[in-house]
Amino acid sequence: MQAIRATRACARPVRAQASMKANVTKIAQVAGVAISSLALTLAAHADATVKLGSDNGSLIFEPSTTTIKAGESVTFINNAGYPHNIIFDEDEAPDGVDADALSKDEYLNAPGESYTVKLDTAGSYGIYCEPHQGAGMVGKIIVQ
């Protein structure tokens, strides 16, 4: 009789462990769907996406040059080496454009944090990350 009780006692943790594994798997699947949905939502609202910091940790805009049409948006996404900000250079913006109004002076501090800006005036826009400009974190947006 004791052997039967011991067998039942041992079986319970295995079932609980299997159940926990199934729950963790389900949570991971739901999280994956949520992240995919977020990425699709961001992509749907941005005509171009620029990473702040490369996947290998380099302090760059990736891509360094982006081309869009007038009236389209660019979304900058914190990727690596943050904090970052996005400064539109007033000396490298089309005439009549308020570069300060387009800039994001406050730092993006967390991974995945983003800033989207809509550009209506055709021309070339120079951009840089203020804390990393000296390291070469500069870029260009061309609006056709």
Q: Which of 1, 10, 20, 132 is catalytic?
A: 132
45 in active site: no
Buried b (16+ CB within 10 A) or exposed e, 35-59: eeeeeeeeeeebbbbbbbbbeeeeb
CA gyration radius for the chain?
A: 24
Q: Which of 1, 10, 20, 137 is catalytic?
A: 137
137 in active site: yes
Q: 100 and 90 in contact (C-beta within 8 Å)?
A: yes
Q: Which of 1, 20, 45, 84 is catalytic?
A: 84
20 in active site: no
DSSP state of 127: E
10 in active site: no
What does the block give as tokens for 33? Answer: 């769907």
Handedness of CA 43, 47, 48, 52 (dihedral sign): negative
Q: Which of 1, 10, 45, 129 is catalytic?
A: 129
The residues assigned a catalytic role are 84, 129, 132, 137
